[in-house]
Structure 1
Amino acid sequence: METSFLFADWLGTPLWMWLGFLGLVIAILSFDLGVLHKENKEIGVAESVKLSALYIALGLSFGAWVWWYLGSESGLAYLTGFVVEKTLALDNVFVIALIFSFFAVPRLYQHRVLFWGILGVIVLRAIMIGVGATLVAEFSWLLYIFAAFLIVTGIKMLFVKDAEPDVSNNVLVRFMRNRFNVTDGHHGEKFFVKQVNPATGKLTWFITPLFMALVMVEVADVIFAVDSVPAIFAITTDPFIVYTSNIFAILGLRALYFALAAMIHRFKYLKPALALVLVFIGSKIFVADLLGLEKFPAAFSLGITFAIIASGVAWSLIKTRETGKAA
């Protein structure tokens, strides 16, 4: 059998590596859905923490393989991207919690929404990263645009207080309610149901609030990708490293969600840390140019990024503990 096509270059990486990664992701998701969550059940905080640890271990193990097979520079770039994307994904938890609350999604079915949401993310991120990689390869100056965007975004996060998203007045929510038949309540784990339309008296398809929640979760990821995709391209322009670090960081998000949703108030100072990370990642491209370096040293990039995030997490836990004692 002819297998030479497996070694053909695709976006700078042999095709077999892309296929191997996608096969690994499919195997992980199949194990998650077919074994760990074969039956619908509520996920408690303890189980959420264990599953999150498993996904983090898988992501770091893949990073170790990248380090061994592609070299230390690629390994450091992967780990930096993984840490940054994982941290940025934490900020998404708050929005997802608001979406679930607005649509009154029972905890029993939240994992289903998050699971199908991850499948959408895998496709959407592939498209966004593929387009980004093509544009950066053709127009290298775009990296400076990405870097400037990250700096501005980070500064804005530091000094401008975000307003809590109003899901009820969201344009997409209003569009779905006006254009589609929507059920008043949930119908178990179903996204679509067939029932009598009061206006016509005929059986017709309705979308459920569970499906609307899924759509909003996907849209939320696209919005957050506007920050995360430029951030990872500012770390490395290797599409394989960009995509794999993104996906492995996001894969464990739905497992981590159930633990974080219960203690999101403990991470009060994580957002300023995220802002500083974005400013650092964006500025290091300009700093490297000023110093006459080809690129900012990967080891320093990972170390500084990790130090900022770890400091934000530690300070948050310390300050919220003191607040709790004072109360």
Structure 2
Amino acid sequence: MSTELDISLLTWALTIGFVVALLTVDLVVAAKRPHHVGLGEAAVWSVVYVAIALGFGVWFMLHHGSGPGTEYFVGYLVEKSLSVDNLFVFVIIMTTFAVPDEHRHKVLTFGIVLALIMRAIFIALGATLLSLFSFVFLLFGLLLIFTAVQLFRHRDEEPDIENNVVVRTSRRVLPLTEDYQGGKLFTQDGGKRVGTPLFLVLVAIGTIDLLFALDSIPAVFGITAQPYVVFCVNAFALLGLRALFFLVQGLLDRLVYLSAGLSLILAFIGVKLILQWLHEDVSKSVPEIPTLLSLVVIAVVLAVVTVASLVKTKRDPSAKARPGSLRTRRERADANQERG
């Protein structure tokens, strides 16, 4: 990996301000103009966000060199591929809670804000731990390999949103209205403040965002140890998630091998982290995986997964993609019985 970058406080402030400004635009549009997002609008916004991410990468490479620049582009590719799995779960949540089409824009935007907040916290924690203890690379690597194995084993599963412990607790402690009340989170019913189903949807998305952050942050730290790069690739990957959802929601069901591909990518990055720890703490003779090789491997895996998925669904139209889960439904049921 490249040597530590000297990122000024002004650069941090301008970057965070730019991200917040983009989020504010999304929030204002979602709150003030609930509407069905068509394919044309989604395509335009998707192109805009990808162009922003690529333009930032070019600027970053010109100012900080090819090494950190390559790490940025590889990290962005990793986070963008993992964010597609996010979209699967968002679709499941919105279907489970029957979110009206005009409110899905708002749900996605709030979900992105929650994801960014959680990832910012994990980035700060991860960077602090890595600066203090080099063996954290080993722990991150083992975590990613474990996650990859579980995801591959249960690649045809779906997360059990209704039995999520936070969602079930929210249902018990908070009175809820039957309908969405025009997209409000809370409303008045008989003089009492009650929640709407939209609040429950955001609770579900928030807990899922937390789980995804636990995977994505170690994964990108496997590409770069620069907190600034980690923050930027997460921010720009997530900012385009809302538009990408409306653009590819019809295609998601056809990516039947995506979970298997993501498990391979996570395992590869896990091995990369372990080799890096061995190289730094055990013996310099242990080889490290170059960043450019990581880029090639990840790009090839994603390309093969996409092509193979489209060929599979063309031959077998009944085949349907699943986001994957770390546990089967039976394992989750057994865990709930033990808690009960």
Query: Is 1:246 equivalent to 2:243 in the alignment?
Result: no
Q: Deviations over 1:154-178 (max 9, x none)?
A: 2232233453223222221221111
SS at match of 1:193: strand
Task: Quote the Cα distance in structure 1 between the aligned partners of 2:30 and 2:192.
Answer: 35
Q: Equivalent residue of 2:245, what SS?
A: helix
In the alignment, does 2:256 pair up with 1:268? yes
Query: Match for residue 6 of structure 1?
Result: none
The answer to whether the Cα contact below 8 Å between 2:70 and 2:291 also exists between their aligned partners in 1 is yes
Say how many residue pairs are matched: 311
Whether the 8 Å CA contact 2:187–2:195 is kept in 1: the answer is yes
Q: Which runs of 5+ in 2 are unaligned?
A: 320-340
Q: Contact 1:114/1:214 (CA < 8 Å) preserved in 2?
A: no
Partner of 1:53: 47
- CA gap 1:287/1:170 in 2 versus in 1, 3 angstroms: closer
The aligned amino acid for 2:273 is I
> Counterpart in 1 of 2:272?
284
* Conservation of the 8 A alpha-carbon contact between 1:49 and 1:255: yes
1:319 counterpart (295, 306, 312): 312
Q: Deviations over 1:198-220 (max 9, x none)?
A: xxxxx111111011101211111
Change (3 A) 1:166 1:310: same
RMSD: 2.3
1:91 Cα deviation (Å)? 0.8
- Deviations 1:140-193 (Å, cap 9, x if unpaired)? 110111112212222232233453223222221221111112112110111110
Structure 1 distance, partners of 2:13, 2:233, is 15
Matches within 5 A, 1:155-234: 155-196=149-190, 203-234=191-222
In the TM superposition, what whole-angstrom CA distance separates every residue of 1:203-248 from its partner, at most 9, and x where no partner exists?
A: 1111110111012111111101111111011111110001110111
SS at match of 2:98: coil
Structure 2 CA distance for partners of 1:182 and 1:11, relative to 1, 3 Å: farther
CA–CA separation in structure 2 for the residues paired with 1:287 and 1:312: 26
% identical aligned pairs: 38
What SS class does the counterpart of residue 292 from structure 1 fall into? coil
Deviation for aligned residue 1:296: 2.6
| Paired residues of 1:12 and 1:238 also in contact (CA < 8 A) | no
Residue 114 of structure 2 contacts residue 209 of structure 2 at CA under 8 Å; is this kept in 1?
no
> 1: CA distance between counterparts of 2:234 and 2:47?
17
- Structure 1, unmatched stretches of 5+, are 1-9, 197-202
- Partner residue in 1 for 2:329: none
Give yes or no for contact 2:167–2:203 (8 Å, CA) kept in 1.
no
Q: Report the CA distance shift for 1:37/1:147 in structure 2 as closer, same or farther (over 3 A).
A: same
Displacement after TM superposition at 1:295 (Å) = 4.4
Match in the other structure for 1:118: 112
**Which of the numbers 299, 316, 322 marks the counterpart of 1:306?**
299
- Three-state SS of the structure 1 residue aligned to 2:14 is helix
Could you list the structure 1 runs, at least 4 aligned residues long, displaced by more than 6 angstroms after superposition: none
Q: Deviations over 1:43-97 (max 9, x none)?
A: 1233223322221111111111111111111111111111111111111112111
1:93-119 Cα offsets, whole Å, 9 max, x none, are: 121111111211101001111112222
**Range that drifts further, 11-20 or 86-95:** 11-20
Residue of structure 1 in register with 2:57 after alignment? 63
Aligned-partner Cα distance in 2 for 1:251–1:227: 18
Q: Give deviations 1:1-24, integer Å, cap 9, x for gaps.
A: xxxxxxxxx995211111111111
Match of 1:93 among 87, 93, 96: 87
Query: After the TM superposition, which of the residue ranges 28-37 and 243-252 deviates more from structure 2?
Result: 28-37
**Alignment counterpart, residue 151 of structure 1, candidates 131, 142, 145:** 145
**Structure 2 length-normalised TM:** 0.85
